Amino acid sequence: MSLHFAGLAQQLGHDQRRVRLVLCEFSHSVAADLLRLERAAAGQRWHAVREFAQSIEAACLQISERNAADAAATLVQIPGDLFEDAYATRRPQIVELLCRAKEFSGY
């Protein structure tokens, strides 16, 4: 089992099939929320941006990935005029997790 998802694996009884299934669903939902977040930010719909960031944070916490969850949580608190810079520094943590999840799940 991958050490990258040790917390999730423990939650799921180290069942590799279930871990892959959860990571596949995680990848689909977070990728969609990230796209929606970016579109909302482009339209300066900050309430929607916060909702999508909270959704991403919750998904990351569900698979025991604290770094990406913290990055998303920070975005919830950022005022609109500072969002672009904050997003540029936090997005890589979320995308890196997405890439690992996609690779591990086979998505």
Q: Is 82 exposed, middle or buried (0-12, 13-18, 19+ CB in 10 A)?
A: exposed
**Predicted local distance difference test score (pLDDT) of residue 4:** 72
End-to-end distance of the chain based on CA atoms, in angstroms? Answer: 17
Global pTM value? 0.92
Is residue 1's pLDDT more than 70?
A: no
Which residues are CB-contacts of 101 (< 8 A; sequence separation ≥ 6)? 5, 23, 24, 26, 27, 30, 63, 107
CA nearest neighbour of 76 among 101, 58, 93: 58
CA nearest neighbour of 19 among 27, 72, 33: 27
Residues 42-99 pLDDT 10s: 999 999 999 999 999 999 999 999 999 999 999 999 999 999 999 999 999 999 999 9
